[in-house]
A and B are shown apart, each in its own frame.
Chain A
């Protein structure tokens, strides 16, 4: 598995329209719902907000990875949004975020879920790559950048 297997041009939103944490999460869940990647919007949203309540998924350096497990999602899928301007996400470093990944999968599949979370986290450690994503400007270009970067990594 690679991230490009669970993410597609049509689940990348550039730029995000909303400027507030919960609204952005809803916007990305709606993107997945609109493309039939998830079955139950409300269940998925609840799973993500429940996880968010434990601790913010704003992991620092302008990145957030809201995620959860729900039977409203039959398969592991990701959405990605780039905010035109950094927004408050209650991140652990208190800095606003601009790159927001959303990851949702079924409850039984912990392995692929953890692998994808780790891969996203590891990719996002790289400042130069974060900047490339922000500069990309379109879903096609964002996906192409991820493709290019993930080539350097092993198959999960």
Chain B
């Protein structure tokens, strides 16, 4: 079991990403409104205003999605996400990473 994080910069694709999660049989996910470091530095700390021109695209906010997922499912999840938002390598698209999970309690039963 891994904890998969997806930082989704293209917020408008959130619905479609969650729909794809359902199609893949994921039982749940948590979504958080989030904001990148660059945005805070560039817009809230005056001395760094010069960073504004370096921020990729005009996307101040993003969504952080995290979900517990079996390791073997991760490639399918990433492929589905990239089909929707484009390759994560493209600037301003998003970031995905997974970390091991040592303890889990309280998961709802699978909807499979």
A interface residues (Cβ-Cβ under 8 A, vs B): 110-111, 114-115, 117-119, 121-122, 125, 152-154, 156
Q: Is B33 an interface residue (CB 8 A)?
A: no
Q: Is B72 an interface residue (CB 8 A)?
A: no
Q: Is B74 an interface residue (CB 8 A)?
A: no
Please, how many residues of chain B have a CB less than 8 angstroms from a CB on the other chain?
A: 14
B interface residues (Cβ-Cβ under 8 A, vs A): 16, 19-20, 22-25, 76, 79-80, 83, 110-112
Known: A111-B110, A111-B111, A111-B112. A154 touches B25 (CB 8 A): no
CB distance from B9 to the nearest CB of A (A): 19
Q: Give 23 A-B contacts (CB < 8 Å), ordered by A residue.
A: A110-B111, A111-B111, A111-B112, A114-B22, A114-B111, A115-B25, A118-B19, A118-B22, A118-B23, A119-B19, A121-B19, A122-B16, A122-B19, A122-B20, A122-B23, A125-B16, A152-B83, A153-B23, A154-B23, A154-B24, A154-B76, A154-B79, A154-B80
Q: How would you classify the secondary structure of chain B's contact residues: helix, strand, loop or mixed?
A: helix
CB distance from A11 to the nearest CB of B (A): 21
Further 5 A-B residue pairs, CB within 8 A, beyond A115-B23, A117-B22: A111-B112, A118-B20, A122-B16, A154-B76, A156-B24
